[in-house]
Amino acid sequence: MPTPSLIDSVANTTSHRDRDDLDVAIVSLLLQFLEADHVTLYRLAEDGEAKRLRCTVSMDRFATHAGQPPISAFEDLPTLDANPFWRECITEQRPVKYPNAAGKSCTAFPVANDRTVIGMLEVQSTTGLESRDAILVEGILRIVKNHLALLDYGESDTLTGLLNRKTFDSRFGKLRAVSGAQSAKEPSWLGIVDIDKFKSINDNYGHLFGDEVLLLVARLLKQAFRGADQLFRFGGEEFIIVLDRATVPGAHIAFNRARSMVEECRFPQVGKVTISLGYTRIDQKDAAGTCIERADAALYYAKHHGRNNIQSFELLVEAGELKAKTGGVTDVELF
């Protein structure tokens, strides 16, 4: 069977719609056509001012196989400032050559979508990349950039720029698997946010100001959570947050921080806006609907107990305020 051409391989790589599959295909493609020993792809993770790099795929030419590395807690990821060459690559958005600790020649390439740099590709070789190879990498990354722009368009909510409900549905299986692989003390959490009395905002001020409230709430949620957390607009005035790795107290603090930031903001024309939030732990055996049902029950409780507050499904069950029925699907009864 003939070896696939570069064009065929690029075409196969950009046929992927799943981000993780795309990452693996990019690294595999470059390792196939470069005189390189090792290729690693990183995604940029941000938490406020802190910027770190999370390794998503790492492949060695001489390894029999290479899986994706286990997910590390944000604070365990290498910082951008720890490696001046990485920082130069990301901040100046250009390839940077440097030697690593093992004496191999490395070249780091920025990976971008149509808005900003979202990661970095590192190529290691014994003798260093030739100029034609560096041009090949940059050309492939430009094609990937265009492909990412199309994926972003299909996965994002057009008003707020957050991920959309369709993307949540397609990603939930991976979110559940990741949560199951995490420490029992620091699982992932799913929270549902609802803007309090949003209908009255539209009725009193018009849909233009209603849309502005949605935009500002989305912006505040982005500021409240870390780069490893995922935010979705679920529809209307509801948002979903997937909180990555948090203890029980840590999850409460994170969700309450979002509530407080919205409460303290003064919205143009509208003035004060508040949110209610219900959240639950993501279990490895959860179906998406089951997990949402639990968080929604906690949200319902929050809405009917004063609004502008957050509630944990598990803590409400423990306190006897909610009842969870055992079975294939969790049924919730409010006392």
4-13 tens-digit pLDDT? 688 888 888 8
User: 224 φ, ψ to 5°?
Assistant: -75, -25
Rg (CA), the chain: 22
* Residue 179 scores a pLDDT above 90: no
* Residue 241 scores a pLDDT above 90: yes
pLDDT band at 183 (very low <50, low <70, confident <90, very high): low
Q: What is the enclosing helix (H) or strand (E) of 41?
A: strand 38-47
Percentage of residues of the chain with pLDDT beyond 90? 56
pLDDT given for residue 331 in this prediction: 45
pLDDT given for residue 174 in this prediction: 78
Give one DSSP letter per residue of 23-35, joined into a string: HHHHHHHHHHHSS
Q: What would the pLDDT profile of 62-77 be if each residue is shown by its tens digit?
A: 764 455 555 566 777 8
User: Please, what is the average pLDDT of the chain?
Assistant: 87
- What amino acid is encoded at 249 in this protein? P
pLDDT given for residue 71 in this prediction: 59
d(CA 253, CA 6): 50
d(CA 301, CA 295): 10
* Residue 38 scores a pLDDT above 50: yes
**Residues of each domain in the chain carrying CATH 3.30.70.270:** 165-334
The reported pTM is 0.77
* Residue 298 scores a pLDDT above 90: yes
Most confident among 108-122, 174-188, 302-316 (mean pLDDT): 302-316
What letter does residue 78 receive in the DSSP assignment? P
* Residue 335 scores a pLDDT above 60: no
**Residues of each domain in the chain carrying CATH 3.30.450.40:** 6-153
* Residue 171 scores a pLDDT above 90: no
Most confident among 226-240, 252-266, 276-290, 319-333 (mean pLDDT): 252-266
Strand partners, 312: 279
Spell out the residues 6+ positions from residue 70 whose beta carbon is closer than 8 angstroms to its own: 181
pLDDT given for residue 14 in this prediction: 84
Q: Average pLDDT of 128-146? A: 90
Domain 6-153 indexed as CATH 3.30.450.40: yes
Spell out the residues 6+ positions from residue 51 whose beta carbon is closer than 8 angstroms to its own: 44, 45, 79, 80, 81, 90
pLDDT given for residue 48 in this prediction: 65
d(CA 95, CA 85): 9
User: 260 φ, ψ to 5°?
Assistant: -65, -40
Lowest-confidence region among 151-165, 168-182, 278-292, 319-333:
319-333
- Cite the active site residues: 237
Q: Average pLDDT of 142-155? A: 88
Q: Which of 280, 124, 75, 107 is nearest to 189 (CA)?
A: 280
Q: Average pLDDT of 173-187? A: 72
* Residue 114 scores a pLDDT above 70: yes
* Residue 2 scores a pLDDT above 60: no
Helices and strands per DSSP (H, E), number in the chain: 10, 14
Q: Average pLDDT of 200-216? A: 95
Q: Average pLDDT of 141-157? A: 89
pLDDT given for residue 154 in this prediction: 87
Lowest-confidence region among 183-197, 203-217, 231-245, 318-332:
318-332
* Residue 111 scores a pLDDT above 80: yes
* Residue 274 scores a pLDDT above 70: yes
d(CA 223, CA 231): 11
Domain 165-334 indexed as CATH 3.30.70.270: yes
* Residue 15 scores a pLDDT above 90: no
